[in-house]
Each structure stands twice: as C-alpha cells, then as structure tokens.
Amino acid sequence: MTAHTFPLVEVAGSSYDMGYQHGAQAARLVHRYLLWIERLTGKSRDVLCRNAMNFWPLFEALSPAFAEEVRGLAAGAGISLEEAVLCQARAEAAQMPDGACTAFTLTRTATADGRTLAGQNQDLEPEYADVAILLRVKPGDGRPGAMMFTFAGQLGYSGMNEYGVAHFANALYDFTWKPGLPHYPLKRLMLEQRSLDDCVELLARHRTCSAANVMLCDGHGKIGAVEVRPEGIAQFQDKHPDACLHANHYLTPAFAGHETGFLPDSCPRLDRMQVLVQQHWGGITVDTIKKILADHEHDPGGICRHGAVQMHSISGYIAEPEKRLFHVRRGHGCLGSWTAYEV
C-alpha cells in the first residue's frame, strides 16, 4: 500500500520542534527537493538561496512562529537556513510560476447530503511526486492542527485544519513579479484560521509577489474563491452560490482584463468541469468527484492531465470539512489510489 500513498510526516509541539521533526523524518526527501528545484529552474543553489533570503525578513514579520519552524527544519534536515528558506520560496526565488490545476468547492443543493466538498487535481511536472509528502501538524500553542499535501521541507501548501478550513489553488499567469510575500507561508497561515472570512482577511492584509487563485471552504458550509495578484485581491462569485469552480485564467471583473490566454487548455477544462457538475447536480458525492477528476476530455490537457505543457495530474484532493476528512490521491485521476485521512 505504501507505494500508492505519499509518505506521512507527523509533527507536534513548539514551532521549532515541529520544524525539527519534519526535517529529521524527511531529510532524504528534503535534499531531493532541493536538487529538484535546481534541476527545474536551471539555476545554481547559491543563486536560488541568495534570492530566497530576500524574503526572510518578510517571513519573520509575517509570523515569528513560521520563522522558528523554518529554523527547526534546517537543523532537523541538516541543511542551511538559506536552503530551508528556499524550500518556502521555490517559485519566487526563480520567478517561475507553474501549475495547471482544476479546483472546486460545492455545497448545499449541489451535493447529495447538502454538505461541502472541495478540492482539486494538482497538475505539475511528474518529478514533484517523488518529493511530495503529507504533513500533519499539531502545534502545542493552541493553533489548530492540520493536514496538508506538500513537498518535503515546504511548510505550507493545500490542506485542511481541525475547524474544517480548507484551501486549494490554481496558478494564474499574466502578471509582473513585484516585491511581496511568496504564497506558501500564507498557505500555512490560512490553515491556522477558524473560518473562510478569516482567510480572506489574511489575504487582504498581505501583498504577494505573484498571482494565484485560492479556493476556500470552512466547517460552517461557507465556500468561495479569491484571485490574488501583487496589487491586491478580488473575491470570485460563481453563477450559483452553492458552487465555485476555477482553472488557470482570471474570472473576476477586477482582473479579467489581465488575461491573455497564456494556458490555452484552461477555459476548456473549466467548461468541462461546469458540464460535469451540472450533470450530477444534487447528487454529487466523494465518488462522483473522483470520477470527475478522472475525466479525459481534451486529453492530454483535460481535467485529468496527461502531459500537456509537461504537466501531469500527480495528485488530487477532496476535503469533507464537516466530517473533517481529507482524501488524497497519488497519481493520475484515472489510475491513482485514494486514501482518506482524519483531520
């Protein structure tokens, strides 16, 4: 079974202790992740680390607890602080956005039991699967516990916390890099919030250096999406209040003018997702979503992605926030194996 799941890293205690435990348990994969960042970007580690350290003062100001966890990670994995910071700013250190994901949140009249379902297919270069982990955190200072999919050494990515707050993401393009935070620390801090509104407020307070869409839900049945750019945020409202679907192009009136069609398969994927959700409206279950995430229309750039622009659906997620269940798939939607985890 372990060949069909991602390694599970469980940490608890102080921020430093959690970082140290993460680094010690996943040291081999952390080193592989750093090698992959070099290979992916074509840049030397010295250059990448120097670029990444420009963000360190922002990390310390954003969250002293996050900064302490980075320090613990470095010690536990036997890497430098600079390398540990690089793990939190991979895309930004190289100024290389990536991803071609299809994300959703559905609730009330859309689902079979009226409860919320949220998640996505994670579309990246296939090598990311070799350094991916599941990270379960149990802070000892009152912050909520959480489960996330991430990469060894990276402290923030998609997941859900004990309050049912979950977030997923779509890469957005057509922006100019500007001074600001990487997205990954904010992803971690969103998993320390207690409601969707708290997450939106967090995103509104902090400027990022690049663009992305953030798909959100919480344990109270609220759903939504926020498009984030260096100049600010715009909340997205889909056609029906019980559904929110997004791919890799801007949908909000505030930002739609930036869209150039950089990723041509984004619109067809979203259109297909809308069709499939409408076909199953009112009866959507976890199993329904699993089938939708395996859909091959527009192959190789379909919802289940098989290599368009060198990206594959390396994983998938389905959150059930009211039940505090987080389903994770390793591999393509059509071939991968799903495992459910309690949060």
277-321 tens-digit pLDDT? 999 999 999 999 999 999 999 999 999 999 999 999 999 999 999
Q: How far apart are CA 86 and CA 92, in angstroms?
A: 9
Q: How far apart are CA 335 and CA 189, in angstroms?
A: 33
Confirm if 156 and 148 have CB atoms less than 8 A apart.
Answer: yes
Instruction: Provide the terminal-to-terminal Cα distance of the chain, rounded to the nearest Å.
Output: 20
pLDDT of residue 94: 85
How would CATH label the architecture of 95-342? 4-Layer Sandwich (3.60)
* pTM beyond 0.95, yes or no: yes
pLDDT of residue 1: 39
Low-confidence ranges of the chain (pLDDT < 70): 1-3
Confirm if 284 and 277 have CB atoms less than 8 A apart.
Answer: yes
pLDDT of residue 3: 59
pLDDT of residue 97: 80
Peptide bond preceding 300 in cis form (omega within 30 of 0): yes
pLDDT 10s digits, 65-100: 999 999 999 999 999 999 999 999 998 988 888 889
pLDDT of residue 240: 97
